Structure 1
Amino acid sequence: MSLKYTAIRTAFELLWLSGLPRLSRLLSASRGVIFTLHRVLPTDPPDFSPNAILQVRPDFLDYVIERMRDTGIDIVTLDEAIERLAAPQKTRPFVVLTFDDAYRDNLQYALPILRQHEAPFTLYVPTALVDGVGELWWQAIEDIIARQKAVAFTDGDDVEYVDTDTTAQKNDAFNRLYWHMRKLPEIERRALLTDFTDKYGYDLERQCRDLIMSWQELRLFAGEPLCTIGAHTVHHYELAKLPSDEARREMAQSVDVIQAQFGIRPTHFSYPLGGPLSCGPREFGFARDLGFTTAVTTRPGGLYPKHLESLQALPRVSLNGYFQQRRYVDVFASGGLFTMLGKVTG
């Protein structure tokens, strides 16, 4: 685990020991929290698994739902969350459960738990991934580095060979390539990804079909009364890196495709990756113009009545796979604490 996550874990321990999360819920003006989830898997990740931050175990998800209700926190839909923000007086605290990307394991492991607890949730769907032609590039580079003792990084005509024999070397190589790709324009990132995956015989389309639900599987969610289907672009590109017309088209077409498949026109949206590098005022404006009721980021924070004026730029709190301790759940639910964290890190 990196120094960053070690520091966060230390902070979580101190917050839990202090009892501050409960006090924060009582005294803070925050009315609720939107939780971000991605994958739900029963197995613990291997030592090298930088994307483990995106996965939680089914038993942890089960406990989160039970703990919320045991402490008087309601689990509500996005639409009800907006109603509670608009209420003149502070209502019971709430959380909203949201899942990004339509991973197949959501069907296998998350849906039975959500049904058992009758817990409403939102599933944000990137349509090209469901078509089986998307690129889960963050997982692809992990998979390649995991099985190699060295990898070649190409920069123009220059080729650098990087050792990836140990876990530490693998983590260093992943972080280096990941952040290099994050800083590139989308067209250059896609070209680099194609070159890298081709070099190691990695089949991106097969990976996509293996990890993401098909449209047939997704129909089980579309027909589930507990589920709200949201849009998540077509190709899961970082919208801020695209020209305006392409970024807007990514958002609009994802809605059209979902409507064509299910007869449902999504009114809620999630920005891929969702941080400052990925979306900003321009994208928030597109979401308003396209008629989305809400659009969520990954910027940390709780929900306040003031967010009624910025419903297309809502914060979320990630149920991070590195922190699946039951004692941390109360910390996750403390919107005010994460709002302070967002101010520090933003």
Structure 2
Amino acid sequence: MKQARGSRLLVLGWHNVEGTWCFPADRGAGLRGLARQLRVLKRLTTVVPLGAALCDLAAGRPLPPRATAITFDDGYRDNLTLAAPLLREWGLPATCFLVPGLLDRTARAWWEELASAVANARAREITWRGRTYLVRTPAERGAAAGALSAALKGLDRADRDAAVDELTGLLEPTQDYRVEEHFMDWDEARRLRDSMEIGSHSLHHAILSRESDEQQLTDLATARSQLQERLDVDAPVLAYPNGTTADYTAGTVSAARRAGHSHAVTTLRGFNEAHTPRYEVRRTVMSPERGLTDLRKLLRDAVRRDGVGR
């Protein structure tokens, strides 16, 4: 099958808009940066709905020049309160990948919980699994949070939750983290549905490759079923939590397919073409507070590939 000119898709992914414990930023920087990013995408690319574009790509149908899809992960509340109004203002489609366990408070946003415990630690240093982490200064706390988060990504969900509890005990934070501090609930997700397509980001935001094949299938099938029943959406597209090659396996791909997903997106950078595997869609993660810095090279590559004509 000959690929039509313009049949390339750039998928971009954001998480939060404004700063959080895990993704700190100056107040207002995220909203200003995202507004600049969306304005430039509107002017220089053709923003397309992700699900339809992936189906067109897989079928060999041409996409518009410099086709770009916008996505958000996890269900941060400011996707509803800040991102959605910007998308409506610019008339841009987007997809939000939601975690049912976060919506109903049965899952832990462990990355935010850990970062909050480190940022608010009474302890000045801790020793965990044979390594000492200094948490006296902002720089030390940032380094410790990054190193601990990376270590926890290597654990399955049960061991990770236990590790977060253990680390919280060692850090002795001055305040507890509550998932409602940053994340939407089901009522807010229903409101978001009016502004964005809905996809699945798994049931509990487990790193899927760390779970058994049976657990993965149960997780993905349950997550999609809950999104369908409670939001009246099909949720055909899945986003793998974390999304690197270490975070999904052939068993994950099989589970995604058996759960009824038509495609799954990763966090592997690059453009998508007709031959891109349907369950390994390339996606570039963005930081809103960086404004246009992260977009410049991507857009230069898009123009070089698809030409300057519209």
- In structure 2, how many angstroms separate the alpha carbons of the residues matched to 1:90 and 1:286? 29
Q: Which amino acid aligns with 1:105?
A: D
Q: 1:238 aligns with which of 203, 207, 224?
A: 207
Tell me how far apart the structure 2 counterparts of residues 245 and 327 of structure 1 sit (CA, whole Å): 42
**Contact 1:133-1:208 within 8 A present in 2 as well:** no
Equivalent residue, structure 2, for 1:166 = 137
2:11 is equivalent to residue 34 of structure 1: yes
Matches within 5 A, 1:257-296: 257-296=226-265
The answer to whether the aligner puts 1:314 opposite 2:281 as a matched pair is yes
Q: Deviations over 1:154-192 (max 9, x none)?
A: 43xx7x664311233223322332222122333222211
Q: Which of 52, 76, 81 in structure 2 is aligned with 1:108?
A: 81
Structure 1 residues 161 and 305 mapped into 2: Cα distance closer, same or farther (>3 Å)?
closer
Q: Does 1:213 align with 2:187?
A: no
TM-score by length of structure 1 reads 0.76
Pick the aligned partner of 2:297 from 298, 316, 331.
331
Which residue in 2 is equivalent to 1:180? 151
Please tell me the residue identity of whatever aligns with 2:124.
A
| 8 Å CA contact retained: 1:121, 1:227 | yes
Segments of 4+ moved more than 3 angstroms:
86-91, 201-204, 332-337
How far the C-alpha of 1:80 sits from its partner, in A, is: 2.9
Displacement of 1:303 in angstroms is 1.0
Report the AA paired with residue 251 of structure 2.
R
Q: Any conservation in 1 of the 2:117–2:173 contact (CA below 8 Å)?
A: no
Please, which runs of 5 or more residues in structure 1 have no aligned partner? Answer: 1-27, 338-346
Q: Structure 1 or 2: larger helix share?
A: 1
Q: Distance in 1 between matches of 2:201 and 2:294?
A: 28
TM-superposed CA distance for 1:151, in Å, is 3.8
Query: Residues 277 and 203 of structure 1: is their aligned pair in 2 closer, same or farther, counting only changes over 3 Å?
Result: farther
Q: Which amino acid aligns with 1:271?
A: Y
Does the CA contact (< 8 Å) of 1:100 and 1:123 recur in 2?
A: yes
Could you give the per-residue CA deviations for residues 72-126 of structure 1, whole angstroms, max 9, x where no partner exists?
x111111331255244556411110111011111111111101111111111111
Q: Which amino acid aligns with 1:316?
A: R
- Paired with 2:56 and 2:234, the residues of 1 have a C-alpha distance of 23
**What is the CA deviation profile of residues 217-243 of structure 1, one whole-angstrom value per residue up to 9, with x for unaligned ones?**
111122x1x421111111100000001
User: In structure 2, how many angstroms separate the alpha carbons of the residues matched to 1:216 and 1:316?
Assistant: 28
| Distance verdict in 2 for CA 1:131–1:90, change over 3 Å | closer
Name the CA shift for 1:77/1:32 in 2 (closer, same or farther; >3 Å): same
CA contact under 8 A between 2:107 and 2:204: conserved in structure 1? yes
Distance 1:30 1:300, change over 3 A: farther
Q: Number of aligned residue pairs: give it.
A: 295
SS of alignment partner, residue 98 of structure 1: strand
Identity between Structure 1 and Structure 2 (%): 21
Is 2:113 aligned against 1:140?
yes
Q: Is the 8 A contact 1:33 1:334 kept in 2?
A: no
Matched AA of 1:145: V
Q: 1:10 maps to which residue?
A: none
Match of 1:67 among 31, 34, 40: 40
From the superposition, tell whether residues 97 and 117 of structure 1 become closer, same or farther in structure 2 (CA, over 3 Å): same
Q: Secondary structure at the match of 1:100?
A: strand
SS in structure 2 of the partner of residue 326 of structure 1? coil
Q: Secondary structure at the match of 1:306?
A: coil
Alpha-carbon distance in 2 for matches of 1:244, 1:87: 32
- List alignment gaps of at least 5 residues for structure 2: 304-310
TM-score by length of 2: 0.85
Given the superposition, is the C-alpha separation of residues 31 and 64 from structure 1 closer, same or farther in structure 2, using an over 3 Å criterion? same
After superposition, residues 47-126 of structure 1 pair within 5 angstroms as: 51-52=23-24, 57-71=30-44, 73-85=45-57, 86-87=59-60, 91-126=64-99
SS in structure 2 of the partner of residue 57 of structure 1: helix
Distance 1:84 1:169 in 2: 47
AA aligned opposite 2:50: L
Distance 1:88 1:189 in 2: 43
Output the CA distance in 2 between the equivalents of 1:37 and 1:191.
Answer: 28
State the alpha-carbon separation in 2 of the partners of residues 143 and 89 from structure 1: 46
Letter in 2 for 1:267: P
